Amino acid sequence: MKYAIGKLMLAAVWPVAMLFGGCDSDEPASSPAGGTTGMNTPGEGIVVCGGNGDLVAQTRFTGADDTSGPGVEGTCRADLLEIYPFFLTSGYTTYWPEDNEYNYQEADEAVLPYVSVASPIPLKIMGRDGYTEAGISIEKDRDYIYMYNTALAYTEADKSKFTTNIANRTSSTLSLNGAGTSYVTPELYYGTLGLKEDSYNPAPSVLSVWESNDDDDDPDENEYMWYYNHLSVNKGSASLTGRIFRIVSQVNLTITDIPAGEVSSIELYADHFPTQITLNGTHGSYYPVHAVTDPANTTQNDSVLLARTDISPTAESAKLSSFLLPSEVGMRFWVKISYTGESSRDRVFDLRPQTSHYLTGDDAAVYNVGSDLKHGSDLYVYNGNAGKFCFYSYSNVRVNLSGRFDNIAVDTSEPNIEIVVNPNFEDEHNFDII
């Protein structure tokens, strides 16, 4: 029960008046594509950003004008934003509803109650962030209407790659569209929105009350739930505000010193590829999703092609890259190399270096994961212990793998691969995403 008696004192004056199965065995140069240019400074609307800068664990809601969170200098490639208002109408006056009492439904002014918002909305470009403005219209049929608003950003070209099932706040999901071993993870952003205080209509008064739980002094409860109450007016409106962040990770593989004329293509694969997440949870302070913990929400032992590149006779290096949904179910990576000439054949090589790599310090403190991913206060990004050799996916974390061709395409259990972990990863990069 989320008690909010202190927040509801004014209303009380008016009593009739809201895994691990797979591992247990042996930037773009300038602005992102899409969107609308011309934005220089933000208002107090909705900002969509990537990552760059220090992370500090705190509330899952970050104000549009707040520069303390990730992504202040990030590059956003999204060009569309979908907004999901979850709500409940009730006569409650002493506590906030439970999370699973909030539901989403398509707005229909003939069916009360409703919360209406334009969606999807095109994103403009503001420096290296995405930006837009939006508002909600409300009509309640009880004393109170309680709201919890979230948003998902993506590029229009990627819309066919995933499906959302938005219903109850606690069980809404995002699933990748695919079958068997054929999936592609798009770049996705998701987070919680608040209401802009000076945008309330009707304006706050003795009769009209707008409140949030933003100052309950409990960081676990600081999720920006809102209510609106008016004794005689059931309709209301307000503007939305907030920053949302990238919820996918990224893996990059760079192979250098490729022997001239001997290789025709290189492919990167992963098993236990994550395919579905819940759009509600505590995966990370800025990432209100539930990472994959059940192998059933992965491809399990089926390997998915993450990236492929053709190798010209004169190419000396190759770069392969993929986004991944957040997952606590370990993945194993491997490459398939197609050779040319007399030795024309395909060969497979596991990517299983012997040294583990971690998120540490404040970067690790941002995330909430199961005990199997913990190494003291650090979190495994790659577990190089015998019987594991697994990679794990955290929202907004990039894992860069690199090595010489002759250190990767070798028949040994100890390939010489360098791993660099970039928390909050929006450094400039030149990796192509399939």
Cis peptide before 122 (omega within 30 of 0): no
Which of 221, 246, 271 is the last residue in one of the domains? Answer: 246
Q: What share of the chain is helix, strand, coil (3-state, %, to 5)?
A: 10, 40, 50
**How large is the average pLDDT for residues 251-276?**
94
Query: In terms of domains, do 185 and 124 share one?
Result: yes
User: 223, 246, 269: which is the final residue of a domain?
Assistant: 246
Same domain, 186 and 273: no
53 with 88, same domain: the answer is: yes
In a domain, 432, yes or no: no
Same domain, 258 and 173: no
Per-residue pLDDT at 196 exceeds 70: yes
My answer on whether 310 and 340 are in the same domain is: yes
Q: Please give the structure tokens belonging to residue 270.
A: 């992963």
Virtual torsion, Cα 132, 33, 279, 302, nearest 10 deg: 180
For residues 382 and 359, give the distance between their C-alpha atoms in angstroms, rounded to a whole number.
10
The number of distinct structural domains making up the chain is 2
Judge if 229 and 338 occupy the same domain.
Answer: no
Q: Is residue 362 part of a domain?
A: yes
Q: Is residue 170 part of a domain?
A: yes
Same domain, 218 and 269: no
Residue that wins the pLDDT comparison between 240 and 108:
240
For residue 431, is it within any domain? no
43 within some domain: yes
> Is 256 found in the same domain as 242?
no
Whether the per-residue pLDDT at 393 is higher than 90: the answer is: yes
In-domain check, residue 101: yes
Closest C-alpha among 281, 384, 386 to residue 327: 281
Report the pLDDT averaged over residues 225-248: 91
Tens of pLDDT, residue by residue over 307-356, are: 999 999 999 999 999 999 999 999 999 999 999 876 678 999 999 887 89
In a domain, 121, yes or no: yes
On whether both 119 and 232 belong to a single domain, the answer is yes
Mean pLDDT of 124-144: 86
Query: Under 8 Å CB-to-CB from 407, ≥6 apart: which residues?
Result: 415, 416, 417
Percentage of the chain exceeding pLDDT 70 = 77
For 219-298, strand residue ranges (E) read 226-230, 235-246, 249-256, 263-270, 276-278
Strand-pair category, 327-331 with 226-230: unpaired
228 or 59, which is more confident?
228
In which domain, by residue range, is 53 found? 2-18+27-246
- Shared domain for 135 and 222, answered yes or no, is yes
pLDDT tens, 395-405?
A: 989 898 999 99
Boundary (domain end) residue, out of 215, 246, 277: 246
- pLDDT reported for residue 425: 60
Q: How confident is the model at residue 218 (pLDDT cuts 50, 70, 90)?
A: low
pLDDT at residue 25 tops 50: no
Element (H, E) at 10: helix 9-12
Same-domain pairing of 351 and 230:
no
CATH number of the domain that 375 lies in? Answer: 2.60.40.2630
Specify whether 227 is located in the same domain as 288. no
